[in-house]
Structure 1
């Protein structure tokens, strides 16, 4: 049944009236409040809003560990190289590769242009906006010097409550973040404030644009001469302007009781805020902004806003209740579900798709990957959280012009979506970046999900130009093979697994299925608008190469040899199994061959080197095949760990956290709860007594 977006308050009232909406969400969520008594060396406890996140140690601030303050807008460019013939972006030419009888220019690092190639890879890079931590009167106090340490993250209200004793005196700190601005609000209560021996230090690092992975802490703290800060003080507040090369942003601090702020030394970028004599509390807000602002937001206002937002977040959308009191697997899965929902609202709900480590630290210089947009965003649709999905799904429209330019530059029609991207839509040079293709049909998936939920003219118009442009490229990219009379994909190309020789990779199984899916959706889009379907789309969809088979199993790509005994091709992403689970069943799929393939993957794959989203993909396939036990086992596989704070570790080849694992988990659980593509949910182990509400069958 196709529904228009309902008014959710009325929707909940109707559900409650018929006895459907009866899960006690608050008690379940609060069972998984974080409760710790020491800082985590890698994973911070966080508050944030999707576009801004503030990570803390056990003090509720960034006192002993410089956990990061990251945002959607905080980016920096290093100076361009000053090498002969490599002084501007225009000096980069890329690499020409033979592609079906013609030279095609690919955005790959050029050996003769190393400096400008690397500059384009590393710039812009995301910056740490600043550190806010306790100051102990200039004394060298360590975390081990504190006693009675406790910290609670109240998931239902989005607030961190921290308490400890220093020199026998109690300190209590509450930390919250605004749901609408880049603001953190802090309340400190302690008798130590009276003496002036306890304050708050604000410190600012230089940008770190040299590290592909800048984790766990982002920024360079000992390059004080490379950047400047300037303090502008006023009554009950101050603004600090931070300038790094051509990047300048403001930190606006507002306090509510008597206090003063000063720079600690002329050679540093550290400032200390101290309460006036006889004060036993210090309450302040810190707002980071790309422009000079005069923020006067107060702690109680921010806390109330945060409480309301998080209450609404947990109350709205879908929910699943598992038998956590009687089953340890169910309890661990519920823990991952709840903490993933919190962490993705903080780290994966911004104006741009999330980078793989969200707003915790920097991976790939803080850039996001267009092939991972599916794993970052698809779960919001299943869980009926469209407002958060809407924040960044516009990336396809924003990037459309650069996608058209990329295709035209290579001699193709339509729009070719890039890979490793910054907010401008520029895709970083890279061999994998330039020839990966499985990101192309993603817009078709999202458009179809929206239309199933909101079958309106507005939805059709929103996606029309995007789908047409991408489908034109997909049809143009496919090469008609006169010998076999089918359309081939590649070479050169990388499949999902990124572990093959691109010049030998042709007709990878998953991409063939996804190409057909994408062109089929684009064709339906035309017909829904009473438009004709371009003949090129139909020709490619109906005559694309068959799935490659060897010894009665599907294989990674056509012509591959020794796939199951070669380590490089039987590890990484098992994209083959996305044929039946993630994607709706392809009419050409032979289930006997597919069952053989599943058995072969289970027997031969080295899951030690799989990534965090591989396990939700495996779970979806198992669930589609009716094997709920195996689906749950994949979600809880020992190679798919979530740490004590709920951060998804993602596998041995990536830095923690790896949020495609968390988002993939929610996608799989959502589909298992609500069903998808004609498959009725919920599907969980038979002995599990579960309750679900709010999911919609896609």
Structure 2
């Protein structure tokens, strides 16, 4: 039996001077990321993470400008179903690019930093700076979910303890330094690509204090911060001092503060809050007495119980029996990634790629990344978290159905880059991607495999069916009766964007679509649907992912493979379980070809884990381990577990989620694989509670010709007929 506490605790992040990392506390729907003081006091270095307090409900929109309309960015493209509309963007969509009249629609709503915890010198009232502080040690106790920060200020020792409630939007901050005070400072929202705060627009929002409650208003967002254990008082524009209950004269008192954040007004509350209970603070009497017994200590206790239960009850991978340094590093990345994903990605919404630490793409989420963010949860024994997040698709169904109808398809077309308003961002890439479409089928299948009762979940059944109907209708029927994808489209590699009007048949998407249609058909069979079998017949007619020379490359037919960025074609035999359309020797040749001269320096944080999954499926555990830990610029995990990508993306949750998905496949295996098929045998891995991933499907025999079945089912799609 694995000693769970020993496994987790040996990877506690400890940050000392010169060690990179940023620690966070949170619960998936609210998180506080911390500088080395345990607050957000110190200015971050350029290109470093910008710690903030963010919540799933904390979305803000600037007033819309007069003139531009969302419809201005709709452009029609020729498709096999006639001309269809896409929310397009003329010009590049990279950070800093001139977005023109599309800017407001790409930037609103955006997540906003809800507050900043700021330490001040009680004697001078001045905010601490890096020059005032001598850093010593900051420690995240993973077993308890508590961060302890120790430093010197004016030669005097200071200790800050920070924790988050496991269920409610509540933070606890304990300041053990009688000469330090604590303030809350409040910013406005920002339209900048990677910023969650604007400190220079004080006249555009409102901060007021009424007894123990702080009231905040920013255009369409209003919320309160209820304070226990201290007395809040307004000290300046959007500055609130938190004084010890004994008042300013109580110079010997440490602070033990509890902050409860409550959304009051936002157009997005039904989606972002739902039926989650409101936080509960100590009674007024307890608050007047300092709130110590029922305040910070209670939050810390709840955090400790919840985190210890999480580590005890979910999956574990113990590689301590190996002397191979790769094993220790993989174990470390797994433990830290699980903590980060639970803090930043375990809520009701798909997370931003920087989670709840700072904004990227203005805090908006990308559904093609949702598999990387969430597939690992049921594989590691936490199906409840993924099932909670699947309600997002139910909420998004009306908008996704409308997009599908406009494109002459049934079902639901899931968008790529959106916020909680469910409007797709204008983009030259996002609306043309297809690999997010099978994800809900795959995620629902992982839910069902973890908990068979979820196979009867009507909401999941609806999500699977609606996703499959669009996949069925979006297919192109060629004169020979075979089926393909596009045009228009952009492949998962996100190259050849300028050719999106002509591109067709990317290999990964062909393989993923065929697999997802067969899985959706199995869902039909289990519920006794009359049209069970139809989707499998359609999958049989799909084009092979292989090019005319029988190789696995980016496109079946199309532009030559660009050998940089994502080697997305490898996903067709890794993330996608084998279906017989890509023989193992062909997948092995594609992997060796990519290893030979791919520009791995340009790959992203999920590419090495994805390639490791392909190697594991091919029975090459040593190569899988090497690929998962390959030293590339965007596959290096710092002491806190974050994976740097570039200055505007100093952390990247898809890298953490992909590492967990790959490690689950390598250690938990897949149907019929045997134990730990993707880990070197000499590592002597101990595996507990990690579920097998989906295994290979039996190859489909080709249909006899010339009588292929009709692609369209008996219920015709709106405005579309196929003979």
Same fold (TM over 0.5): yes
Q: Is the 8 Å Cα contact of residues 78 and 245 (structure 1) preserved in structure 2? A: yes
- Aligned residue runs from structure 1 range 35-434, under 5 A: 35-38=14-17, 43-65=21-43, 67-83=51-67, 86=68, 89=70, 91-92=71-72, 94-100=74-80, 102-109=82-89, 117-136=102-121, 137-139=124-126, 141-147=128-134, 149-192=136-179, 198-209=180-191, 211-214=192-195, 218-233=196-211, 238-255=212-229, 260-265=231-236, 268-275=237-244, 276=247, 277-291=250-264, 295-296=281-282, 298-323=295-320, 326-434=323-431
Aligned equivalent of 1:498? 494
Aligned equivalent of 1:606? 599
Q: Is the 8 Å Cα contact of residues 579 and 586 (structure 1) preserved in structure 2? A: no
- State the Cα deviation string for residues 386-420 of structure 1 (Å, max 9, x = none): 12222212222221111111111122122111111
**Partners in 1 of 2:557 and 2:667 — Cα distance?**
39
**Partners in 2 of 1:611 and 1:93 — Cα distance?**
29
| Segment of structure 1 superposing worse, 668-677 or 48-57 | 668-677
| Segment of structure 1 superposing worse, 293-302 or 580-589 | 293-302
**Partners in 2 of 1:653 and 1:305 — Cα distance?**
36
Give the drift of 1:463.
Answer: 2.3
Aligned equivalent of 1:15? none
Give the drift of 1:219.
Answer: 0.6
Q: Is the 8 Å Cα contact of residues 94 and 110 (structure 1) preserved in structure 2? A: no
Structure 2: state its 5+ residue gaps: 44-49, 92-97, 266-278, 283-293, 694-723
**Partners in 2 of 1:324 and 1:77 — Cα distance?**
52
Match of 1:615, SS state, is helix
Match of 1:336, SS state, is helix
- State the Cα deviation string for residues 488-534 of structure 1 (Å, max 9, x = none): 21011011111122123211111111111111111111111222226
Q: Is the 8 Å Cα contact of residues 36 and 135 (structure 2) preserved in structure 1? A: no
Match of 2:587, SS state, is helix
Give the drift of 1:460.
Answer: 5.1
Give the drift of 1:623.
Answer: 1.1
Q: Is the 8 Å Cα contact of residues 355 and 368 (structure 1) preserved in structure 2? A: yes
Aligned equivalent of 1:555? 553
Give the drift of 1:241.
Answer: 1.3
Match of 2:163, SS state, is strand
**Partners in 2 of 1:272 and 1:680 — Cα distance?**
59
Change (3 A) 1:399 1:60: same
**Partners in 1 of 2:428 and 2:665 — Cα distance?**
34
1:666 pairs, out of 660, 664, 668, with: 660
Give the drift of 1:101.
Answer: 6.8
Match of 1:412, SS state, is coil
Match of 2:682, SS state, is coil
- State the Cα deviation string for residues 207-247 of structure 1 (Å, max 9, x = none): 001x1222xxx3111221222211112xxxx2121211222
Aligned equivalent of 2:538? 540
Give the drift of 1:160.
Answer: 1.0
Q: Is 2:464 the counterpart of 1:485?
A: no
**Partners in 2 of 1:170 and 1:114 — Cα distance?**
49
Once superposed, what is the RMSD of the aligned Cα atoms? 2.3
| Segment of structure 1 superposing worse, 423-432 or 638-647 | 423-432
Q: Is 2:508 the counterpart of 1:510?
A: yes
Change (3 A) 1:308 1:471: same
- State the Cα deviation string for residues 430-476 of structure 1 (Å, max 9, x = none): 12121111111112212222333333376353322222222111111
